[in-house]
């Protein structure tokens, strides 16, 4: 079936919050143009200031917040960006107040210094933080702010004036979504609400769920699906993981997702394979739940199935193909070892094409060929080359984050698992033969192994030096 779409909460709240908006409330805002032209910004600023003034008690505060939120929901994308820009620029810290507080601190003696420092702290708190927190008193107000941040992240590119507002909102959400507030919940076919099942279909980001039968297969007795939930968003998964209970580590995703495959006995399984981890809320990007999710699920599965001896993933390499094409463009056939060059040259000649190689070289020609993976001879030559280069990619392709001086993997999935203490265990040739798998990962998939006794050591090596723990089999590819 087509990818399922769940109505956005930013639209649904328009009806839910209407009952809180007084009939006469915000009359100046009742007929705003969706694009929010300049001449209407003054009325909006007055409404925001009224929310901050907080006159009239809790009921009035809720009415004003609902009116302001209702305005936001009725705007176009351009109007929402202008709304957020107004909040970011007009309700930032007052520079004069900050300067006076700093001067007070510099002049303070020891007895006055702590109080003066507190005044600096107060002066630096932008009024927009209190404006954002106003939405927390509304039904689904937390989800409203999560989705608002998702839009902020989208708008922020090319609009640095929004950076401060985005940071403020992230700080608020980081506090509200502390791991101590989250609940791990198993999602099942029989007991989970239909609304949650629909959202699993919609939010699945790794292997598209194509039908209700597909979803039911992923929730069968030899499968587990767990998600983290927040009490203020009880029907909205924050992040969820899909697990297969098997004998041995899976080497391809097609067998795992085969709806006609026989159902295994989970009590006899010795391996739990995490084959999909999806962040469901774009507005919580940068707030880490994944490492806690894996640890919690490992603990839960270990208690339920004492026979489990290994915990591993079957993961894509979503950045590999882009990185590989960049290397080919830069180095051409110089990427290849002598034996690989010989094999590629012989293959091209055998296929009846003896022309001079293009700028990207013979290997680049093979890689760019349509359906190269379906030709047996081509795939046989490409296999050792791609496995070797993929190992180099996982071990050596690094970048420096904005904060910190330790290089991290450029592949986001590799970074996630390496930072959580996993070891790169095995590369699987044609583990994902789908169009997306070929386009992103050249068909390869990787097993990351979580050995409980090595997690801390592996995490320390990666976080302090950027070093990836590697199995002996993959070390052999590097030697080659």
Task: Answer whether 296's CB lies under 8 Å from 184's CB.
Answer: yes
The DSSP letter of residue 135 is G
Q: Supply the pLDDT for residue 3.
A: 40
Closest alpha carbon to 272 in 301, 229, 303: 301
Burial of 345 (0-12, 13-18, 19+ CB in 10 A): middle
CA 405 to centroid of chain Cα atoms: 23
Closest alpha carbon to 422 in 471, 387, 478: 471
pLDDT digits (tens, 9 = 90+) for 190-242: 999 999 999 999 999 999 999 999 999 999 999 999 999 999 999 999 999 99
Tokens found for residue 385: 């080359």
pLDDT digits (tens, 9 = 90+) for 134-188: 888 888 899 999 999 999 999 998 899 999 999 999 999 999 999 999 999 999 9
CB atoms within 10 A of CB 354: 9
Q: Which runs of consecutive H residues, i.e. helices, occur in 54-140?
A: 57-73, 77-90, 95-107, 110-124, 127-133
Task: With a cut of 70, list the residues of the chain below it in pLDDT.
Answer: 1-30, 55-58, 352-359, 480
Pairing of strands 271-279, 310-313: parallel
Task: Answer whether 318's CB lies under 8 Å from 432's CB.
Answer: no
Residue given tokens 């789908």 in the structure block: 434
Residues in contact with 463: Cβ distance below 8 Å, sequence separation at least 6, in sequence order: 406, 419
Computed on alpha carbons and rounded to an integer, the radius of gyration of the chain in Å comes to 27
**Phi (first) and psi of residue 274, to 5 degrees:** -85, 110
Domains of the chain: 9-177 (1.20.140.90), 181-316 (3.40.630.180), 319-478 (3.40.630.150)
Q: Supply the pLDDT for residue 57.
A: 64
Instruction: Give the active site residues.
Output: 315, 417
């Amino acid at each position: 079936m087509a990818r399922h779409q769940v109505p956005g909460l930013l639209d649904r709240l328009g009806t839910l919050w209407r009952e809180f908006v007084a009939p006469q409330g915000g009359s100046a805002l009742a007929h705003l143009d969706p694009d929010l032209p300049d001449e209407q910004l003054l009325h909006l600023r007055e409404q925001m200031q009224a929310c901050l003034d907080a006159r009239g008690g809790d009921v009035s505060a809720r009415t004003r917040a609902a009116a302001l939120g209702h305005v936001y929901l009725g705007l176009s994308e351009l109007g929402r960006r202008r709304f957020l820009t107004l909040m970011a620029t007009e309700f930032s810290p007052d520079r004069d107040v900050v300067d006076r507080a700093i001067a007070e601190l510099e002049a303070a003696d020891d007895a006055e210094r702590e109080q003066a420092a507190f005044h600096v702290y107060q002066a630096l708190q932008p009024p927009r933080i209190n404006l954002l927190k106003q939405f927390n008193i509304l039904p689904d107000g937390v989800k409203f702010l999560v989705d608002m941040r998702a839009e902020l992240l989208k708008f922020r590119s090319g609009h640095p004036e929004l950076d401060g507002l985005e940071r403020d909102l992230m700080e608020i959400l980081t506090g509200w979504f502390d791991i101590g507030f989250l609940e791990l919940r198993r999602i099942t076919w029989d007991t989970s609400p239909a609304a949650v099942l629909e959202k699993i279909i919609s939010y699945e980001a790794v292997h598209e769920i194509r039908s209700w039968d597909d979803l039911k297969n992923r929730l069968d007795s030899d499968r587990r699906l767990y998600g983290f939930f927040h009490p203020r968003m009880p029907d909205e998964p924050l992040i969820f993981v899909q697990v297969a209970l098997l004998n041995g580590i899976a080497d391809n995703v097609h067998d795992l997702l085969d709806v006609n495959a026989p159902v295994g006995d989970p009590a006899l399984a010795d391996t739990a394979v995490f084959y999909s981890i999806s962040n469901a809320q774009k507005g919580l990007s940068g707030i880490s739940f994944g490492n806690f999710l894996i640890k919690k699920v490992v603990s839960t599965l270990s208690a339920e199935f004492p026979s489990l001896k290994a915990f591993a993933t079957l993961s894509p390499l979503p950045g590999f193909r882009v990185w590989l094409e960049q290397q080919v463009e830069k180095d051409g056939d110089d990427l290849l070892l002598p034996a690989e060059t010989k094999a590629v040259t012989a293959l091209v000649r055998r296929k009846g094409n003896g022309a001079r190689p293009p700028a990207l070289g013979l290997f680049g020609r093979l890689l760019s060929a349509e359906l190269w993976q379906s030709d047996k001879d081509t795939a046989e030559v490409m296999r050792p080359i791609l496995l070797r280069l993929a190992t180099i990619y996982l071990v050596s392709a690094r970048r420096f984050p904005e904060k910190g001086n330790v290089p991290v993997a450029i592949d986001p999935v590799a970074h996630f698992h390496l930072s959580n203490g996993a070891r790169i265990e095995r590369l699987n040739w044609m583990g994902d033969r789908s169009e997306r798998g070929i386009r992103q990962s050249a068909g390869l998939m990787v097993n990351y192994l979580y050995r409980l006794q090595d997690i801390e050591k592996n995490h320390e090596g990666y976080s302090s030096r950027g070093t990836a723990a590697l199995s002996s089999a993959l070390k052999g590819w590097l030697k080659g």
